[in-house]
Amino acid sequence: MYTNPYSEITPELLKLSKIYEDDISIDPELYTKYDVKRGLRDLNGKGVLVGLTEISDVCSSKIVDGKSVPMEGELYYRGYNVKDLVTGISESSHFGFEECTYLLLFGKLPNQIELDEFTHLLSYYRTLPTGFVRDIIMKAPSRDMMNTLARSVLTLYSYDDAADDISIPNVLRQCLQMISLFPLLSVYGYQAYKHYHDGESLFIHQPKPEYSTAENILHILRADSKFSALEAKLLDIALILHMEHGGGNNSTFTTHLVSSSATDTYSVIAASLGSLKGPKHGGANIKVVQMFEDMKEVVKDWEDEEEVSRYLRALLNKEAFDRAGLIYGMGHAVYSLSDPRAVIFHSFVERLSAEKGKEKEFALYTLVEQLAPKIIGEERKIYKGVSPNVDFYSGFAYSMLNLPLELYTPIFAIARIAGWSAHRLEELSSNGKIMRPAYKYVGHHRDYVPILKR
C-alpha cells in the first residue's frame, strides 16, 4: 500500500499488532459499572462540568416549571448574542472578526479609536520572520495543511526570544501575533504544496495593511487577488461564527488542559491544532461537501422530495456515499432545535448563491435541511431534536468562494485561534491547578518472571 519504506507496515508490525489486538481490551460493561462518563458526557449527552468561563455561553435549553426543556439555540460572546453582533456588524462598513476578537480577549466591545488601534496592531504583527517562508514553509510541504500549520507554529518558538515567558503581557503578544499570522501560514503552506506536488504556479502575495483578516485571506489566496464585497463579507461572518464556542469543545478544552501545565504558548496552540484536525471536530464540513457532490450525481431530480428522501434514507442505512450511516451536517452535541450559527449563516449563503448562480444547489441544501430531521427521527432512536449545524452550510459557502478543500479546516483554525487565545489567557490568569483527571486501573497485578536465557 505504501511505497515509502518509512511508512511501510512490515510483517513484524502485523505480528505485534495481532498480539495487541488479542491480549489487550477493556470490557465495555466496566464503563457502566464504574460510572465512567465516556467522552466526558453523561447518558443524556450533557457535558461533565470541568471548569468555569466568562468568554462564551452555548445555550440549548431553559428551565420551565423546574424542568429543562429544549429551546432554539443561542450563542453568546462575553454576554452578547452572536446574532446581534453579526446583525450590527453587517449593517456597518467595517468587518467584524477584528471587533469580536477584541471582545473575546478583553471582555468589552471596543470604541472606534480602540478598534482602529487594535486592527493596526494586528496588521503590524502580520509579518513573518525573515526567511520563514523560504526556510520553513517551502521545505517539505505537507499534503495536510493542518500539519503544516502546526509545524509552523512550533517553529515560531525558535524565533521568539521570550518563548517560555507565560506572563500575561507576553502571552497576549504571542496570541496576537498568531491571530495575525495564521492566514499567512495556512495559505502559503497550501501554495507551496500545490506548487511542489501538483506543479502549479507559485505566487506569494504580501498581505495588505488596510485589509481585514477576511479580505487578506482572499487576497493572498487568489492569483489575481480579486474578490467581491459580498465574498469578503461572507468569509468575515464565517470567521465570527467559528471563532469561539464555549470551553467544552475538544480543541478549546485542549487549550485549557495543556495551558494548565504552564507550558509555552506555541506548544499549547500546536496541541489545539492537533485536536481541531480530527474529522470528529474540525473536518466535518469537508464531509458535507463530499456528501452533497455524491448526492448531486445520484439524485436525478434535485427538486423531487421523494427521490431526495430515498437518498437520505440510504445514507442512514449505510447504502450511499461513504456508508458510515450518517447525514453529515445534521445534529450537534449540544444544540437540538437549532444551531444559531447555521441560522445566521443561512441568509448570507443564500445571497452568495444568487451572486454565483448557484440557486439550484442552494435549493437542494434547503430541501435536505427540511427533510433530514424528520427522516433521522424515523430511522433512529434519538434523545433530542436534530437540526443543521454550522458545518451544513459552511462547506457550501467555502466552495462558492473557490476555497480549496485543503483549507477548510485551516479556515476554522484561523477563526478559532481567537477563542483559544482568550481561553489560554483565562486559564493562566485564574492560576488554576494542573489538570489531572482520574483513570481507574481494571487490569490485574502479576508477578514478574525473568526470561530464561538460552
For the record, the C-alpha cell of 47 comes out as 457535558
Query: Is 42 marked active-site?
Result: no
Kindly name the residue from 391, 444, 445, 447 that is annotated as catalytic: 391
- Please, which residues have CB within 8 angstroms of residue 369's CB and are 6 or more apart in sequence? 388, 392
Q: Compute the distance between CA of residue 27 and CA of residue 30 in angstroms, rounded to an integer.
A: 6
The CB density around residue 433, as the number of other CB atoms within 10 Å, is: 7
Query: Is 332 marked active-site?
Result: yes
CB 151 within 8 A of CB 192: no
In eight-state DSSP terms, residue 158 is G
| Cβ neighbourhood burial of 362 (10 Å; 0-12, 13-18, 19+) | buried
Residue 131 CA: distances (Å) to CA of 107, 138, 190, 206, 405:
36, 10, 17, 14, 28
Q: 363-380: buried (b, 16+ CB within 10 Å) or exposed (e) per residue?
A: ebbbbbbebbbebbeeee
For the record, the C-alpha cell of 205 comes out as 502575495
CB 203 within 8 A of CB 223: yes
For the record, the C-alpha cell of 230 comes out as 459580498
Q: Compute the distance between CA of residue 439 and CA of residue 298 in angstroms, rounded to an integer.
A: 47
Kindly name the residue from 245, 256, 332, 423 that is annotated as catalytic: 332
Beta bridge partners of 68: 63
Q: What values do phi and psi take at 61, rounded to 5?
A: -150, 165
Half-sphere exposure in the Cβ direction for 56 (13 Å, CA): 30
Cα torsion through 98, 110, 348, 410, rounded to 10: 20
Q: Compute the distance between CA of residue 314 and CA of residue 287 in angstroms, rounded to an integer.
A: 16
In eight-state DSSP terms, residue 157 is G
User: Which residue shows C-alpha cell 444559531?
Assistant: 340
For the chain, the distance separating the N- and C-terminal CA atoms, rounded to the nearest angstrom, is: 38
- Which residues have a catalytic role annotated? 332, 391
